[in-house]
Structure 1
């Protein structure tokens, strides 16, 4: 694309996303699926106006949107909460991984597309979208709710698992089966995460002094540069770039500059997040998705069931009632950016050609359903209360007999 074409495409993308979001807001729809819908409608795979021919033209802006979303998530997460939650958060995250990753692996084998495909599907069905989860919490104003710490804790556990999972999966898909090579990649990824966690735990005072400036412009350049640089280093070491950005946010959350950083990052986060979801839509071909509609529907139903079960268990571990349990289950439902990373890895490895459209359709369905269900989680909570009431009545009836 030429310079003028790039500017026209970017401007059109922003305005199209804003227009659809405003229309959707009037009928109570969340912004995430609307940003994606704008990308689908104005992309190369649907008839009519084609604003951008190739989603890769927005690749850097899209990556920046993901980095800023996870950076902000790190700013909102406090290491003390994770340390205090400790075993319960690890248990809750473990339940999510066990049910969802296990279900994804089993589903992959049932489809019969191959062992490599099943391993990819385990991650696709097993890992929530940190970007969409963050956006849901922001849009619905739930960052201060008690169960949000549980949600963020599960996301952290999933992301730590993801770093090791990607490190192990990449050499397998690339044809490298040497255990030593796989162990080395996993060790590099885990060691890098441990180093960042150590800085977040013990180095915030020093980091706070290094970034302490009065000028807002310098502060923006500093934290943005740090987030992007560490994200790049993470990618080189086999850790998802978004995880590196999250860890930078976690480190800066413990500094005196954190409140100012949160205020300054808001407009950047919202603008580039819109481009991230718009570019997400550009890559989806509705025609390809239709060919795997059956498996997509089955996988979405399976994920909803597993998330509901995991949400109930996690909420019970933390002593939460039906409404927080419904919020946890619904918020963590969406799948997104990490599934697309796996789709790209699968395509590069020459796996079954049905895998890419399946992942695109599955992610689209849950990226739409996730925010909608989360916004209406009160209905789910009422259903849980009704089920509990019916179960109590049946128990009492059996006891009386």
Structure 2
């Protein structure tokens, strides 16, 4: 096929992706499954698209998409938030990772595809999608919610875990069986992680001076070049291009130019990421879904159950309620780009070919059910908690009491000047009578008494003298 036909086909695919994406937004779905479906429709395995288009035609652009996805993930890593609240975040995020990854690995072993495949499946089912989480928090207007800092904290810990996990997976997928080569490669991988995180933590000012330029064009070329360069370094030293791009993103995110990089990087990421997801869809074969559909169904059910348990546990650890726990579960349950990244890595390593259709069908299913669950999580949490009747507003009942309290003060003041105890008693009697009437109204409305001063006045009212002589005592 000629270049013109390639461009025509690719342009048509992107336009179709736009149309389907607009429709998906109407029902609250993210764009990731839309791009995959478009690729699936155009896949040579399906034959549903009138033009011939192959995954290899956009493979390099798809790699750029993978690099920018991880680069942006590193760029958004909030190291100040992490180091300032490291203990609390590690407990919350560590609990989430331990539950989901541990049982995800057990599930992978039960599938019976192999130990390396089980490790990949654990990553696919145990790690949330940062991109979908961020978009859902914005679109559902939950950024100010009580549970949102907890969710973002778990995401931060998840980002660090992804870096460590990818370093381990890259060694496992390398196929090495001798102990010392594995130890050496792991040592290099962790040294790379330590150096880059240390540079991000303490070298922010140095990095800022190195990347400083007023020319936006050259600035864009610089950060894109660094992302590609460190992706290549990561690939060469055996920690994958994805982790190299992530780490340089963490370093540049620590500079004073983070906001400027984000303004340029986000549109680039969205464009190139579309090619990545489109390319993954092109490689899918619908005919292979039948061999993994049962495994996918079990994985989906397991993911929802584990996230419900994790969400409630996180809420309990952070002293929150059922609604906050349900909201956390609804947001964190979403899976997306990282699952596809792992599937891409497993294909390159020659693992079981069923991992690709498993990842594709799993992400397609989760990308639909996850946002739907998130959008209804508050309603579900409220139903589980059992909504209590909201007390009526008490402003209307409070005004008469304020007037009586003022009258009491005025009477007491007048009594002090004129020496009239009867004025004070009459004022106190009016306040207490009004208090009793207000309590009765509150009981009928199933509310508490209106003002604590009522109890104080009632409990501390001095006994009325019954002697016929002068009233004794000073009540001013």
TM-score, length basis structure 2: 0.72
Structure 2 equivalent of residue 72 of structure 1: 72
Contact preservation (8 Å) 2:75, 2:252: yes
Q: Distance in 2 between matches of 1:2 and 1:136?
A: 41
Structure 2 equivalent of residue 150 of structure 1: 153
Contact preservation (8 Å) 1:82, 1:89: yes
> Is the alpha carbon distance of 1:60 and 1:153 closer, same or farther for their aligned partners in structure 2, counting shifts above 3 Å?
same
Paired residue for 1:381, among 378, 381, 392? 378
Q: Distance in 2 between matches of 1:347 and 1:335?
A: 19
Runs (4 or more) in structure 1 with deviation over 6 Å come to 141-144
CA shift, 1:139, in A, is: 6.0
Q: Distance in 2 between matches of 1:31 and 1:114?
A: 32
Deviations along 1:313-348, one digit per CA (max 9) or x if unpaired, are 234434455455444333333334444454455556
CA shift, 1:111, in A, is: 2.8
CA shift, 1:303, in A, is: 1.2
- Alpha-carbon RMSD across the aligned residues, in angstroms, is 2.8
Tell me whether 1:161 sits opposite 2:158 in the alignment: no
Contact preservation (8 Å) 1:32, 1:371: no
Larger relative contact order (Cα-Cα within 8 Å, sequence gap ≥ 6): 1
Q: Distance in 1 between matches of 2:265 and 2:354?
A: 39
Contact preservation (8 Å) 2:30, 2:367: no
Q: Distance in 2 between matches of 1:340 and 1:78?
A: 24
> Is the alpha carbon distance of 1:259 and 1:370 closer, same or farther for their aligned partners in structure 2, counting shifts above 3 Å?
same
Contact preservation (8 Å) 2:96, 2:154: no
Contact preservation (8 Å) 1:167, 1:239: yes
Q: Distance in 2 between matches of 1:108 and 1:153?
A: 25
TM-score, length basis structure 1: 0.84
Larger Rg, first or second structure (1 or 2): 2
Q: Give the match's secondary structure for 1:206.
A: helix
CA shift, 1:100, in A, is: 1.8
Deviations along 1:238-291, one digit per CA (max 9) or x if unpaired, are 324333323323222332322222222232122222222222222222221123
Structure 1 equivalent of residue 185 of structure 2: 185
Tell me whether 1:199 sits opposite 2:199 in the alignment: yes
Contact preservation (8 Å) 2:117, 2:351: yes
Q: Distance in 2 between matches of 1:52 and 1:133?
A: 35
> Is the alpha carbon distance of 1:136 and 1:57 closer, same or farther for their aligned partners in structure 2, counting shifts above 3 Å?
farther
Q: Give the match's secondary structure for 2:45.
A: coil
Structure 2 equivalent of residue 332 of structure 1: 332
> Is the alpha carbon distance of 1:340 and 1:74 closer, same or farther for their aligned partners in structure 2, counting shifts above 3 Å?
closer
Structure 1 equivalent of residue 88 of structure 2: 88
Deviations along 1:97-124, one digit per CA (max 9) or x if unpaired, are 3222222222233333444443433333
Deviations along 1:345-376, one digit per CA (max 9) or x if unpaired, are 555666555444333322332233334433x1
> Is the alpha carbon distance of 1:327 and 1:228 closer, same or farther for their aligned partners in structure 2, counting shifts above 3 Å?
farther
CA shift, 1:133, in A, is: 4.4
Range moving further from structure 2, 134-143 or 151-160 = 134-143
Q: Distance in 1 between matches of 2:40 and 2:311?
A: 31
Residue ranges of structure 1 left out of the alignment (5+ in a row): 391-401
Q: Distance in 2 between matches of 1:277 and 1:77?
A: 23
Q: Distance in 1 between matches of 2:113 and 2:166?
A: 25
Residue ranges of structure 2 left out of the alignment (5+ in a row): 388-476
Q: Give the match's secondary structure for 1:255.
A: coil
Alignment of 1:207-356 (within 5 A): 207-344=207-344, 346-347=346-347, 352-356=352-356
Aligned residues: 384
Contact preservation (8 Å) 2:171, 2:239: no
Q: Distance in 2 between matches of 1:52 and 1:147?
A: 47
Deviations along 1:56-85, one digit per CA (max 9) or x if unpaired, are 322222222232233233333321111012
